[in-house]
Structure formats: C-alpha cells, structure tokens
C-alpha cells in the first residue's frame, strides 16, 4: 500500500511556495521601478516638447489637434490634466505638462466665451446652436474675422500663420466638458448628421428631437445626395429655400425615419405647438395656412446672425 506525503514533503512544498512568492514579488518590484523610470523620462520629454512648441499648440488649430491626438493615443487625458496643478490641486506629472503649455487656462477662457455666446443668443434660438456657428462666433471674438468653415480635419494654416486663434470643434467639445462639474446642463446633440449645442438644462422632448432632426436633415441635404436626403425628401421649403414643418408634412415624413409608429395630425400639431410655446425652439408663421414652423437654429441665416449678440466677449 502506497503511503501519502509525509511532514517533510509538506515542509518542502511550503518552502518552495514561499520562495516562488518572494521571487515574484522581487520581479514585480523591479518591473514597476523600471516602468516608473521610463514614465518619468517620457513625461519629461513630452513636457519639453510641449514647452518648446507652446506657441504652435495654442495658435495653430491643426497642430493643437495633432498634439492632443498624440496625447490621447499615449493615454494622457487633457481634461484630466486641466485643473490639477493650475487650479491648486495636488498636481500630477501630466498636470505640469498642461500647465507648461498653458492649455488649461486657454480651455477655461474658451469655455467662458462659449457660455457668453450661448447665453446671449438663447432668446433668439431657444437654446440650440449649431456647432459650426458656435466655432465661427468664438473665432470672430478672438480674431475679429468670420471663418466660414472650421473643423478638426480642415486646414487652418492661413489663420495660424497670421497669428489668429482659430477654434475647432474639438476645442469647443473640450471646453464644454470642463463645464460639466458646474451643472450648466450644456449638451451636444447630433441632429440630422450635424452637431448642435443645447444650452438649456432641461431634457429635450423626444418628439422635439424628431422635429429638429427632420429640419436639420433638410438643411444639410439641399443637393439630395447627403445622408439625410431620404429623411428630408418630404420636408417643404419656402421661396428662399428654408425648410419648415407643417402638421401635414410632419405626418408624411415620419415613415422616412424608419419608425414603425405613425403620427396622427393631432400628435403632430401637439409636438409642433410644444416645441414652439413650451421649449421655444421653433418659430411659427401664422400668416399663411397651414401654419409653418421654422427653427432659427437650423437652416436659416438668422441662426448664424443671432449669435452676433455674443460678440461682447473679449479674447484672452
């Protein structure tokens, strides 16, 4: 009959396990120390690069976008860095990076200008601003000139070479994110394939979202070849080409959204009335029958001109 392991074998097994644990702990400590040294070296190099190219980062929108993309791929979160060392916090390595660049204060100043524009134009657009119009308005504050098209992918070398503080959509998104702890209620919406900034704290009614999506799709699909062309096919336009909604056109446009439900005339009229009277996002033309409902934030020249009320802000 075979005997099981004795006490000596158990002691050897326990000793071996303890030795393996000690060796694993030593290896982990050595690896962690080596990784810490590498991170310190990387942080120092990145901070040196940011300091050396500080002017380009703050002035050239394309260069700033590339720099932020690089940091994002390397796991450096710009928004986590902002507010650490520059705002009296403990201050991390990355916080020192953004303090050296000055991008933290730059983003806070941009957030103040965004709020100024949104509040100043709220009475006209009902608290809904197209992102591109907002970027153009902020750029006008900083440069005194109007920029027709600014995006993270478009070239802004002309503005950069002239020293203009061009602002991209990505910059505005980061500025809006810094406002979240304040509970301002600013929200970025996608309507008809375009970005809009909602500047009122209350949630947008689902029916109102449908109305705005249809108007936005109609506004961006004048050629009939854009992604929103199908949704906008049944949206009428006035003599100036501005899209509008009626209860009848809204009812007929619902199938184009791919929804199973159908709206009655009563529901369409209620949705239009609520978006106009309760939420202030639509304006109604009662001089013609059926009444026409327009959005001053979408597809009208007024949507861009209304934000001129926010031009009182000063560039930093």
* 13-22, 157-166, 273-282: range with lowest mean pLDDT: 157-166
Percent of the chain whose predicted confidence (pLDDT) is above 70: 66
pLDDT of residue 245: 93
Give the tens place of pLDDT for each residue, 227-250. 444 555 578 888 888 899 999 998
Domains and CATH numbers, the chain: 38-101 (no CATH), 107-310 (1.10.10.10)
Residue 196, strand partner residues: 130, 189
CB 61 within 8 A of CB 171: yes
Residue-averaged pLDDT of the chain: 73
pLDDT of residue 291: 92
- Residues 206 and 53: their CA atoms lie apart, in Å, by 46
Look up tokens 């070849």; give the residue: 225
pLDDT of residue 279: 85
Residue 277, strand partner residues: none
- Residues 176 and 118: their CA atoms lie apart, in Å, by 11
**What is the four-CA torsion angle of 95, 111, 64, 311, rounded to 10 degrees?**
-150
pLDDT at 224 over 50: no
pLDDT at 287 over 70: yes
Give the tens place of pLDDT for each residue, 20-47. 777 777 777 777 788 777 777 777 777 7
139 against 11, higher pLDDT: 139
Degrees (nearest 5) of the Cα angle 244, 246, 249? 95
Question: Which residue from 95, 46, 96 is spatially nearest to 71, judged by alpha carbons?
Answer: 46
Give the tens place of pLDDT for each residue, 65-113. 787 777 777 666 655 544 444 444 444 545 555 565 666 778 888 888 8
pLDDT of residue 308: 53
The helix (run of H) or strand (run of E) holding residue 2 is: none
- Residues 307 and 316: their CA atoms lie apart, in Å, by 19
If one counts every other C-beta atom within 10 angstroms of the C-beta of residue 52, the result is 11
pLDDT of residue 82: 45
If one counts every other C-beta atom within 10 angstroms of the C-beta of residue 292, the result is 21
Q: How many residues are present in the chain?
A: 316
pLDDT of residue 266: 92
Query: In terms of DSSP H, where are the helices of the chain?
Result: 7-52, 54-59, 61-73, 78-81, 93-101, 103-125, 131-143, 157-161, 169-178, 206-219, 229-232, 247-253, 265-273, 301-305
Task: Quickly state the pLDDT bin for 159 (edges 50, 70, 90).
Answer: very low
CA 186 vs CA 110, 116, 181: distances in Å? 14, 13, 11
DSSP string for 95-150? HHHHHHHTHHHHHHHHHHHHHHHHHHHHHHHTTEEEHHHHHHHHHHHHHSS--S--
End-to-end CA distance of the chain: 90
φ/ψ bin of 224: left (φ > 0), alpha (ψ from -120 to 50), beta (otherwise): left
Question: Which residue from 172, 203, 168, 179 is spatially nearest to 279, judged by alpha carbons?
Answer: 203
Say what the pTM is.
0.63
Percent of the chain whose predicted confidence (pLDDT) is above 90: 8
If one counts every other C-beta atom within 10 angstroms of the C-beta of residue 60, the result is 22
Degrees (nearest 5) of the Cα angle 206, 212, 215? 145
């Amino acid at each position: 009959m075979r005997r099981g392991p004795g006490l000596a074998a158990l002691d050897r097994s326990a000793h071996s396990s303890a030795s393996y644990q000690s060796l694993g702990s030593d290896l982990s400590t050595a690896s962690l120390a080596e990784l810490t040294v590498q991170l310190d070296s990387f942080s120092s190099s990145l901070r040196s690069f940011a300091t050396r190219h500080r002017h380009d980062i703050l002035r050239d929108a394309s260069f700033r976008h590339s720099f932020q993309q690089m940091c994002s791929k390397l796991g450096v979160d710009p928004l986590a860095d902002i507010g650490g060392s520059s705002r009296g916090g403990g201050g991390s390595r990355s916080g020192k990076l953004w303090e050296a660049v000055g991008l933290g204060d730059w983003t806070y100043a941009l957030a103040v200008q965004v709020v100024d524009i949104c509040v100043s134009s709220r009475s006209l657009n009902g608290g809904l601003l197209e992102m591109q119009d907002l970027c153009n308005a902020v750029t006008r504050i900083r440069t005194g000139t109007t920029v027709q098209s600014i995006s993270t992918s478009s070239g802004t070398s002309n503005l950069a070479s002239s020293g203009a503080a061009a602002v991209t959509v990505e910059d505005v998104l980061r500025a809006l994110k810094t406002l979240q702890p304040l509970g301002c209620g600013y929200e970025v919406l996608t309507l008809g394939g375009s970005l809009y900034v909602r500047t009122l704290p209350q949630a947008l009614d689902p029916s109102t979202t449908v109305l705005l999506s249809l108007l936005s799709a109609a506004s961006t699909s004048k050629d009939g070849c854009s992604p929103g062309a199908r949704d906008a096919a049944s949206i009428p336009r006035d003599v100036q080409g501005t899209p509008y909604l009626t209860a009848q056109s809204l009812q007929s446009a619902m199938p184009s959204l791919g929804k199973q439900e159908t709206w009655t005339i009563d529901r369409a009229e209620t949705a239009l009335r609520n978006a106009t009277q309760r939420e202030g996002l639509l304006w109604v033309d009662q001089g013609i029958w059926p009444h026409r409902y327009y959005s001053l934030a979408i597809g009208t020249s007024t949507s861009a001109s209304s934000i001129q009320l926010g031009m009182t802000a000063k560039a930093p």
